[in-house]
Amino acid sequence: MRELTIYRELANRIQARLNCINWVRKDDQENAVYRAGQHEKCIESLKDLLPSGSGIDSGISIDLNNSTGERIIIDSSFHAMNDSGYYDRWIDFSVTITPSLIHGISLKISGRFGKYQDIREYLFDVFDDSLRETVKEYYCQNCEEIYYRKRQEELHSCPVCGNKLQ
């Protein structure tokens, strides 16, 4: 088991996937495609650890066409509530993550927030906290699968084959 920071592991996996795609040698194509697929699975699992609920849509996605190890773009939407407590409209937003020498990462939240500027600040805080969280990475040698769990959760055996995990 390894302990990792979500944003750094996301960046590593996104860059590793790109390397597999870009550096593919003709005689090794199958292997590169397989490894790119493995990285994509990891990115999907990490995505499931990012914020959803409390107004944030569960249909969050990582824009793999425009993301690199040094710039990650996450797309989601937020269901805004008006002053009377009724749901108003969905606000599509993007979170752009870039490196920062001082803070480790720098976040930008973009979208048409209009009168809901406080939601932009809320999303900044929620994503900033979440991306900096520590996760545990487990590897099953039997299935060659990787699993991520939040720090407070334990995974003793592989959910697929039951193999003991370390």
Which window, 4-12, 109-117, 125-133, 141-149, contacts Zn ion (CB under 5 A)? 141-149
* 165 lies in the binding site for Zn ion (CB under 5 A): no
- Minimum Å distance from CB 146 to Zn ion? 10
Q: Smallest gap, in angstroms, from Cβ of residue 145 to Zn ion?
A: 6
73 binds Zn ion (CB under 5 A): no
Q: How far is the CB of 14 from Zn ion (least distance, A)?
A: 25
61 binds Zn ion (CB under 5 A): no
Tell me how far apart the alpha carbons of residues 94 and 92 are, in angstroms, rounded to a whole number.
Answer: 7
**Nearest one of 100, 95, 103 to 119, comparing CA atoms:** 95
- The residues pairing with 93 across neighbouring beta strands, listed in sequence order, are 76, 111
Query: Should residue 140 be labelled a site residue for Zn ion when binding is judged by CB under 5 A?
Result: yes
- CB of 152 within 8 A of CB of 3? no
Token pair recorded at residue 55? 């107004």
**Min CB(47)–Zn ion separation in Å:** 21
Q: How far is CA 54 from the centre of its chain?
A: 18
d(CA 80, CA 119): 8
Name the helix (H) or strand (E) containing 32: helix 29-47
Q: Does 143 bind Zn ion (CB under 5 A)?
A: yes
Region from 45-53, 62-70, 113-121, 140-148 binding Zn ion, contact rule CB under 5 A: 140-148
Nearer to Zn ion, 33 or 143 (CB): 143
User: Is beta strand 2-5 parallel, antiparallel or unpaired with respect to 104-111?
Assistant: unpaired
SS3 55: coil
CB atoms under 10 Å from CB of 7, counted, come to: 22
Q: According to CB under 5 A, which one of 46, 123, 158, 165 is a site residue for Zn ion?
A: 158
| Residue 33 within binding range of Zn ion, rule CB under 5 A | no
Q: How near is the Cβ of 17 to Zn ion at its closest, in Å?
A: 22
Q: Note the residues at the interface with Zn ion (CB under 5 A).
A: 140, 142-143, 158, 160-161, 163
